[in-house]
Amino acid sequence: MLLRRGDRGPAVADLRDALTSLQLLPGLNGSDRTQVEFDDGVDRAIRDFQQRRGLIADGIVGPVTARSLTDARWTLGARILSHTLSAPMTGDDVMALQTRLAEMGYNTGRPDGIFGPLTDQSVRDFQRHRGLADDGVFGPQTYKELNRIGRMVTGGRPQYLREYQLVRQAGPRLHGKRIVLDPAHGADDPGWTSGGVIGLFTAAIVLGVVWGRWEWRVTDPLVDLRLMRQRAVWTTNVVTFAIGFAMFGSFVLIPQLVQTPPVAGYGFAASVTASGLFLLPSSLVMLVAAPLSGRLSTRHGSKLPLALGSVFASAGYFWLAAMHGARIDIYIGSLLLGLGIGLAFAATANLMVEAVPQEVTGVASAINAIMRTVGGAIGAQISAAIVSADLVLGGRFPAESGFVTAFAMSGVGALVALGVTFLIPSRERARAGRPAEVPA
């Protein structure tokens, strides 16, 4: 459930209670909870909270902001902490515990507010050193002992000292350093609804209409729009758009999935280089699929390899949506995608050449390549938006369900390409329907 400015009701009242507990807003003072409004004051408080927590300061309370609000309300000692594999405990109390233990020299890693294996081991070490039962449960006894001794030891965080030395020794080089970029223009930036953005979109539409009317009237157009209206041409461009939409999604999804650490419930914590190797089967199969597509086109026409490519690409995406828990699953999905995309893209190029007169094959092929690029850009952005819409572990990693949805969406895109393939006229009908070539 999303909460934003203008909403009202008990959920907004609960939100105000959370902000009041964090001293970001005054209390309700007996107001009717069903009529509490998400007003400008709540909006400013949420943006302030989001900025402090390193979240996107959009003033919208979604799953990530709501989870961060819950985490921020926990103080050390208010609950019992322990390591659970299925749903690791998170909160500011965990962050405080990690910081306190790190001050005493225990290796909790970088404090992140997640009670993970390193924190569990540090708690056990502390309990053992203080003569307590080393069960890893941070309860009242451990909390009391930590308070008793913790005030006497400060400044020993090995993780920070280690990182400081690495940064100092690296000098002016950027390798291994974190660079934080703030894409926002401030809390009052309207974003996509600003006059400048809307004006640019309006100008693009107007200029597109003017250009189209001009190209339609001149005797020697840069792009023959009448040619683009032919069934063999526009159907091939639609298929190319759909295949591009599906293909570029894989370039975003597969590397990010395999680079995610298993603590998120999926992924393999692969390095950047290793994540590229997961796409290697796709690249190798493309080297074989493209020539195979040409042979099939010569013998049976280009529609056959295009249809087969769409089938294999959709099968690869649906396979990855259902099976991505093991490395072999990713390799199989990558192999199917490479086979499908290699067959399909080679076939679309052949179909475009067959559909237009020889003297305009360059323009027609360029438009076809543009359709592939536009489809890929849109597919990649939509995939990224779906994956980043729901985060887990305090907003650190995308939820697995986002990858499932994005893979399935790309599979549907490949099925759309398969459906439009059947609308493409045969080679003989395409040649019969195109304008006659003018002899030189």
Give, in degrees to the nearest 5, the angle at Cα 243 between 237 and 246: 140
Class for the domain spanning 10-72: mainly alpha
Residue 430 has pLDDT above 90, yes or no: no
* Confidence (pLDDT) at 395: 66
Separation CA 371–CA 363 (nearest Å): 12
Residue 196 has pLDDT above 70, yes or no: yes
CATH number of 230-433: 1.20.1250.20
Note the pTM of the prediction, 2 decimals.
0.58
Residue 234 has pLDDT above 50, yes or no: yes
> 308-326 pLDDT, tens per residue?
999 999 999 999 999 998 9
Out of 202-206, 425-429, 430-434, the most confident range is 202-206
Task: Identify which has the larger pLDDT, 190 or 304.
Answer: 304
* Confidence (pLDDT) at 174: 60
pLDDT band at 306 (very low <50, low <70, confident <90, very high): very high
Out of 163-177, 186-200, 388-402, 410-424, the most confident range is 410-424
CATH number of 92-170: 1.10.101.10
